[in-house]
């Protein structure tokens, strides 16, 4: 039965990387489409819209971070698996959920804000800083979710 614990734990790590990653990919894609429109009109705004495009990308990193932390803690990265009971595995799985779920949705919400921000850059390029700040507000919640995931994973040691 010990194996199932490990499976569940890895499931958690994968979920964190997977959903946060998908959310970021969709988000970066959404902003990229809007940004490309601006660049066709005025290529000099490339650097400004690029920053906006990258903003929803961090959730994927957070998912990766939680996954790496978990995998290294259960010894998978060094090839020496620590045996886990079913309950322990499930705990690890649950611990990954905040960043998996919040990561997915916040990336998309942030992407929407960033798409609107691309509109700001198109019309008033001097105000791009404000567009960035607005999009960064959304990220707070991904950070809080990551915080809980990290604390939980770390606490399960």
Partner 1 sequence: MAKLTMKWIEIVALLKDRKKIVERLQRCEIVEFSDFQDEALAKMNTTSHVAHLEKNINTAVEAKEILNEYAPTKKSMLSTLNGRREMETSEFGKYVEQRETYLKICYDLINLKKVITENRAAIIRTQTLMDALKIWLDLDIPMQFKGTKYTRCFVGVVPKKRTSEDILLEIAKINPKLEMIHVEVVSAYKEQSCVTIICHNEVADETSEVLRQIGFVFSSDPTKHVPIIRMQRYENELIKYNSEIDESINKIKSYADRIDEIEFLADYSILRKEKYIALNKIGLTKNTFIISGFIPEKYAKKCIYELETQFTAAINLTSPSENEDVPVLLENGEFSAPVESVAEMYSLPGKKDIDPCAIMAFFYYMFFGIMLSDAGYGVLMVIGTAIALKKFNIEGSMKKTLKMFLYCGISTVFWGALFGSWFGDIVPIIYEQFLHIDAPNMALWFEPIKDPIKFLLAAFAFGIVHLFVGLGVSFKMAWDKGQKLDAILDVIPIYIFVLGVAPLCAAVLVSVPTAATTIGKYMAIAGVALIILTAGRKSKNVFAKLGLGLYGLYNVASGYLSDILSYSRLLALGLATGSIAGVVNLMGSMPSNLVFKGILLTIVFIVGHPLNMAINLLGAYVHTNRLQFVEFFSKFYEGGGRAFHPLKVNTKYIKFKENN
Q: Which parts of 135-154 interact with partner 1 (CB under 8 A)?
A: 136-137, 139-140, 143-144, 146-147, 150-151, 154
Residue 77 touching partner 1 (CB under 8 A): yes
Which of 140, 110, 142, 116 lies closest to 128, judged by CA?
Answer: 116
Does position 25 interact with partner 1 (CB under 8 A)? The reply is no
Q: Can you tell me which of 6, 14, 35, 51 binds partner 1, judged by CB under 8 A?
A: 51
Q: Which stretch binds partner 1 (CB under 8 A): 5-13, 27-35, 36-44, 58-66?
A: 58-66
Q: Whole-number minimum distance, CB 153 to partner 1, in Å?
A: 9
CB of 82 to partner 1, least distance (A): 16
Structure tokens at 22: 């998908």
> Distance of CA 66 to CAs 6, 11, 43, Å?
16, 12, 37
* Distance in angstroms (rounded) separating the CA atoms of residues 154 and 147: 10
d(CA 84, CA 46) in angstroms, rounded, equals 49
DSSP conformational letter for 82: P
Q: Strand, helix or coil at 74?
A: coil
Contact set with partner 1 (CB under 8 A): 51, 54-55, 57-58, 61-62, 64-65, 68-69, 77, 129-130, 132-133, 136-137, 139-140, 143-144, 146-147, 150-151, 154
């Amino acid at each position: 039965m010990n194996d199932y614990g490990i499976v569940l734990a890895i499931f958690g790590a994968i979920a964190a990387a997977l959903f946060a990653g998908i959310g970021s990919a969709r988000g970066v894609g959404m902003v990229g489409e809007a940004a490309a429109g601006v660049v066709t009109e005025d290529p000099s705004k490339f650097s400004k819209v690029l920053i906006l495009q990258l903003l929803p990308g961090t959730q994927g990193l957070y998912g990766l971070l939680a996954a790496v932390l978990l995998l290294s803690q259960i010894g998978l990265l060094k090839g020496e698996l620590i045996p886990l009971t079913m309950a322990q595995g499930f705990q690890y799985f649950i611990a990954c959920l905040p960043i998996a779920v919040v990561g997915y949705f916040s990336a998309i919400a942030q992407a929407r804000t960033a798409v609107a921000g691309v509109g700001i850059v198109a019309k008033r390029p001097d105000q791009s800083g404000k567009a960035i700040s607005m999009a960064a507000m959304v990220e707070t919640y991904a950070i809080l979710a990551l915080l809980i995931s990290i604390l939980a994973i770390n606490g399960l040691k």
